[in-house]
Amino acid sequence: MSNRKKDWCNIILMGCLLVAGLIACLVHPQKEVSVSERRTLHSFPELGLETIYTARGTESFMDRFEPYVVDQFPCRERFRTLYSAFSLYVLQKKEVNDIYYAEDHILKTDSEIRENSVSWALNRMKYIDEKYLQNSHVYFSIIPDKNDYLSEHEQVPYLDFDAFEAGFREKTDAFSEYIDLTDELELDDYYRTDLHWRQEKLLPVVNKLELAMGNYEEKPGKAKTGNGYLYGQFEEKEADVPFYGVYYGQGALPVAPDKLSYLYAGYMDGCVVTCYDTGKAEAMPMYDEPALKGMDPYELFLSGSRALITIENPDCSNDRELVLFRDSFGSSIAPLLAQAYCKVTLVDIRYIRSDVLGRFVDFDGADVLFLYSTQVLNHCDGQFLQ
């Protein structure tokens, strides 16, 4: 190709890219949310004299315009994929946006123990114990992150779970019994594209928790396993939509989705699930099947993040009650724990203040389980409400 032709190619190509980009930006319809990123996208900022000449420290129209045009850029997801692919395959980076791919899983790097967060969590747990739990059986368990189960740890920095756990146990052993779940889980017990564990793989975890909390009453139809008992049999049902977990969106690379399954047993038909978030008791399903078609299919389990839910199991032969202080991991295990209790109360102190719990929850004589994932405990400063 001659120099002249090359020059014209450069001009035409770049000219087309700029003009096509301008036109695409102007005509592309605005989106309100990004499903892959699970957040609302910036909309066109307010335009006026007062938004152009703003006071010092206040964002002007111009400051807000760039985030808006970036969020609303046409083919945004394709460009994010291009970025990830270029970083991983051309620049040979191991992780992109703190996301990395290993052993057929998408994972997030989080290698540092954040002492502020640990202190905050311990502070909240101690407060709750001192205020409400003097007459309760208190248990505590940390759900390991799936990073902990990678066979090749040296690939990416990872949190020292043993040290993390030890730091908590040092302060919580005085008021709670720790339940170690490490041996009950493995890498494939978690979704490949999400941080959560799979409900259909949780029976050993349920078993361990129930044994530790003293629920080993023999019942007809029980299935006896290694070191304990399971109540009845569960049927595994598979959702008919693919599950693209939260890490899928963050990583932006095309990988096969997960299959989302959930466990069903007869006692669930009789369970009454109630949500109190609006201040009134509102019935809700244990498995919210319409949520499978929403932004986050994991909200199938107890409709996702809620401050206060109760599950009453009239089929339970005892009068034991469980109060579960939990994060989103608790949503999928609570329906399974409900088999052993006449009432399970799920509390998420990211959405309800600890000092008002006494108005809504009766802790007297109940089993109380603090069950949190590593990620939440390591990033809860400011999230767990006062």
Partner 1 sequence: MLFSSITFLFYFLPVFLICYFIVPKKFANAVLLLGSLFFYAWGEPRYLLLMVMMICAGYFFGIWIQKITTPGSRKLVTALSVAFCLVVLGFFKYTDFLLENINRLPGLSVSLLSVTLPIGISFYTFQIISYLLDVSHKKVSAQKNFLCLAVYIAMFPQLIAGPIVRYRDIEKQLTERTVTVPEISCGIRRFVIGLCKKLILANTLGEIGNLYRETSQVTVVFVWLYAIAATLQIYFDFSGYSDMAIGLGKIMGFELPENFDYPLASCSITDFWRRWHMTLGGFFRDYLYIPLGGNRVPVLKWIRNILIVWMATGLWHGAAWTFVVWGMFFAFFLVIEKTIKKAILKNEKVLPKQIPGIVLCRHIYVWLLLCISFVIFNATDLSDAFTALKYMSGAGHISLVSAESLFYFRDYFFILLIAVVIACGFFRYLTDFLRQYQTGERVLNIVEPILLATGFLICVAYLINGSYNPFLYFRF
Smallest distance from the beta carbon of 29 to partner 1, in angstroms? 17
Among 29, 41, 48, 66, binds partner 1 (CB under 8 A): 66
Measured between alpha carbons, how far is 54 from 64 in angstroms, rounded to an integer? 12
| For partner 1, the closer CB: 103 or 315 | 103
What's the first-to-final CA gap in the chain, in angstroms?
70
For position 151 contacting partner 1 by CB under 8 A, the verdict is no
In the complex, minimum distance from the CB of residue 186 to partner 1, in angstroms, rounded to a whole number:
23
Tell me, letter by letter, the H, E, C secondary structure of 74-125.
CCHHHHHHHHHHHHHHHCCCCEECCEEEECCEEEECCCCCCHHHHHHHHHHH
How many residues make contact with partner 1 (CB under 8 A)? 49
Q: Does 44 bind partner 1 (CB under 8 A)?
A: no
275-280 contacts: CB < 8 A, separation 24 or more? Answer: 275/303, 275/306, 275/308, 275/309, 276/307, 276/308, 276/309, 276/310, 276/360, 277/306, 277/307, 277/308, 277/351
Q: Determine contact, residues 348/355, Cβ cutoff 8 Å.
A: no
- Cβ-based nearer residue to partner 1, 38 or 93: 93
DSSP state of 190: B
Query: Could you tell me the smallest distance in angstroms from the CB atom of residue 118 to partner 1?
Result: 13
Choice between 157 and 242, CB closer to partner 1: 157
Residue 127 interacts with partner 1 (CB under 8 A)?
Answer: no
Backbone angles phi, psi at 285, to 5 degrees: -80, 155
Residues 107 and 194: their CA atoms lie apart, in Å, by: 8
- Minimum Å gap between C-beta 221 and partner 1 is 49
Would you say 96 and 87 are in contact if contact means Cβ atoms under 8 Å apart? yes
Min dist. Cβ of residue 103 to partner 1 (A):
17
Residue from 154, 218, 235, 269 binding partner 1 (CB under 8 A) = 154
Residue 95 as a binder of partner 1 (CB under 8 A): the answer is: yes
Cβ-Cβ contacts under 8 Å for 235 (sequence gap 6 or more): 263, 264, 265
Dist CA 45 CA 218 (whole Å): 63
Q: At its nearest, how many Å lie between partner 1 and the CB of residue 205?
A: 29
Stretch of residues binding partner 1 (CB under 8 A), selected from 16-24, 137-145, 189-197, 323-331 = 16-24
**Contact between 291 and 141 (Cβ < 8 Å):** no
- Does position 93 interact with partner 1 (CB under 8 A)? The reply is yes
- 256 binds partner 1 per the rule CB under 8 A: no
Strand partners, 102: 105
Is the distance from CB of 287 to CB of 261 less than 8 angstroms? no
* Contact status: 18 vs partner 1 (CB under 8 A): yes
89 lines the binding site for partner 1 (CB under 8 A)? no
Segment interacting with partner 1 (CB under 8 A) among 6-14, 215-223, 291-299, 345-353 = 6-14
Residue 156 binding partner 1, by CB under 8 A: yes
**With binding defined as CB under 8 A, does residue 2 bind partner 1?**
yes
Shorter beta-carbon distance to partner 1: residue 68 or 264: 68
Does the footprint of partner 1 cover residue 60 (CB under 8 A)? yes
| 94 touches partner 1 by CB under 8 A | yes
Residue 73 is a binding residue for partner 1 (CB under 8 A): yes
Residue with Cβ nearer partner 1 (247 or 341): 247
* Number of Cβ atoms within 10 Å of the Cβ of 177: 14
Place of tokens 């005892």: 318
**Cβ–Cβ under 8 Å, residues 190 and 198:** yes
Is residue 76 involved in binding partner 1 (CB under 8 A)? yes
Where residue 103 falls (left for φ over 0; alpha for ψ -120 to 50; beta otherwise) is left
Q: Is 112 in the site for partner 1 (CB under 8 A)?
A: yes
| Contact flag: residue 65 with partner 1 (CB under 8 A) | yes
Minimum distance of partner 1 from residue 101's CB (angstroms): 13
> Do 386 and 353 meet the contact criterion of CB atoms below 8 Å apart?
yes
Where on the chain is the footprint of partner 1 (CB under 8 A)? 1-11, 13-14, 17-19, 21-22, 25, 52-53, 56, 60, 62, 65-67, 69-70, 73, 76, 79-80, 82-83, 86-87, 91-95, 97, 111-112, 154-157
